[in-house]
Amino acid sequence: MENYFKTVTLGAFTWNNEDRIALLLEHIRKTGRLWFVLHFMLLSLCLAFPVTFAMARLTPFELYSRLYGGRFMDALPESARAAFTELNEDDHARVVNDFNMIMLESGYGRDVLLPFLCMTFGLLIVIQAAFYFLSVFFLGMSRLNLPRLSFGDRLGLALFSSTLPAPVAGIFGLYLPAVHILIFYFMVIFFIFQRSSRLK
């Protein structure tokens, strides 16, 4: 565990110092694969938090409206759709509040929101895994004329170089959810290729 914390610290606070980057790589090689998985999950949780927080704040009506878009009314039975369109503004708000209350009382959080949040997190995990494997592949391509790094070295460099970008992107995501994931990826790409160029 001590080596893991040292690796995380070096990954977060190492910039252009070649000796520190070499030390980071040395600690990565001592870190077990289980710690790689743990760090990957922690990074994913940092990225998932703003998205899940934004979705959890939505009322049932808002969530269904965003899921269905302009087709939300089309998803209702015809009689309900016709009655809904004939309502004035005050009655419309009342019906929306009634809809929210009915959904909450019928297990919306357990039966709808929680599975949806789990699916969102699962999708993020898949995207994260694809991003890191592509990063490792292209990092290997970029070092063809330099001393080769093993797959584990490149994966560790990518994972532990993400230590600082993950919380920074997570905070940014509280204001612009989903956009923060792209910002995170750009930051990580910059860090891993900048650090790789310093390894001889």
Q: Rounded CA gap, 68 and 80, in Å?
A: 16
Distance of alpha carbon 110 from alpha carbon 52, whole angstroms: 14
Write down the pLDDT at residue 145.
Answer: 60
CB contact at 8 A, 174 and 47: no
pLDDT level of residue 158 (50, 70, 90 thresholds): very high
pLDDT (0 to 100) of residue 159:
93
CB-based burial, 5-22: b 16+ in 10 Å, e otherwise: ebbbebbbebeeeeeebe
**Which range (27-41, 89-103, 104-118, 174-188) has the least confidence?**
89-103
What is residue 116's predicted lDDT score, i.e. its pLDDT? 87
pLDDT at 71: 58
CA separation, residue 54 to residues 106, 136, 177, 178 (Å): 22, 31, 7, 10
pLDDT at res. 125 = 94
The full set of domain ranges for the chain reads 2-196
Residue 142: predicted pLDDT: 78
Give per-residue pLDDT as tens, 65-112.
Answer: 777 765 566 655 555 555 566 555 666 677 778 777 877 777 878 888
Contact 27, 7 (CB under 8 A): yes
Each residue's pLDDT tens digit, 111-147: 888 888 999 999 999 999 999 999 999 888 876 666 6
Higher pLDDT, residue 88 or 19: 19
pLDDT at 113: 86
> What integer pLDDT is reported at residue 69 of this predicted model?
66
Q: How confident is the model at residue 189 (pLDDT cuts 50, 70, 90)?
A: very high
**Tell me, what's the pLDDT at 29?**
87
Give me the pLDDT at residue 163, please: 92
Please tell me the predicted confidence (pLDDT) of residue 178: 84
Amino acid letter at 69?
Answer: G
Angle, vertex CA 131, rays to CA 127 and CA 134, nearest 5: 135
pTM of the model: 0.83
